[in-house]
Amino acid sequence: DAGVIQSPRHEVTEMGQEVTLRCKPISGHDYLFWYRQTMMRGLELLIYFNNNVPIDDSGMPEDRFSAKMPNASFSTLKIQPSEPRDSAVYFCASSPDRGRETQYFGPGTRLLVL
């Protein structure tokens, strides 16, 4: 298996622009997680899905952030409009049954908002 795939790997954009991050989870995994990693706040859970349904979005910073999972093999995290404080590494992870078990992380998307 190719593991969790994320794209793009790097994104540089200007403040106010829309940013879309993409994730393909490992086939057969029922859970998908979006995390944000910064030096100041560490690894933060933004939202997670179970069987394509959003379960907990309490970590989403504000309305500028949205996430979708239209099918079992694809998810997006969108930031509109982006701000410099959104600069971080965004990870997608997937997990088989019971999301609290082993999570398999993708390589991350490094986002820089100028």
Partner 1 sequence: QQQVKQSPQSLIVQKGGISIINCAYENTAFDYFPWYQQFPGKGPALLIAIRPDVSEKKEGRFTISFNKSAKQFSLHIMDSQPGDSATYFCAAGGFQKLVFGTGTRLLVSP
Q: Across the strands, what pairs with 44?
A: 36
Q: How far is the CB of 6 from partner 1 (least distance, A)?
A: 8
- Residue 42 interacting with partner 1 (CB under 8 A): yes
Of 21-29, 66-74, 75-83, 99-107, the segment contacting partner 1 by CB under 8 A is 99-107
3-state secondary structure of 87: coil
- Residue 31 interacting with partner 1 (CB under 8 A): yes
Q: Which of 13, 52, 55, 72 binds partner 1 (CB under 8 A)?
A: 55
- Residue 5 interacting with partner 1 (CB under 8 A): no
- Residue 56 interacting with partner 1 (CB under 8 A): yes
- CA-CA-CA-CA torsion for 29, 1, 36, 82, nearest 10 degrees? -100
Q: Classify 28 in phi/psi space as left (phi over 0), alpha (psi -120 to 50) or beta.
A: left
- Residue 25 interacting with partner 1 (CB under 8 A): no
Query: Can you read off the two tokens belonging to residue 58?
Result: 């309490």
91: exposed, middle or buried (C-beta count within 10 Å: 0-12, 13-18, 19+)? buried
- Residue 33 interacting with partner 1 (CB under 8 A): yes
- Residue 75 interacting with partner 1 (CB under 8 A): no
Query: Can you read off the two tokens belonging to residue 100?
Result: 């609290």
Binding site for partner 1 (CB under 8 A): 4, 31, 33, 41-43, 45, 48, 50, 55-56, 91, 93, 98-108
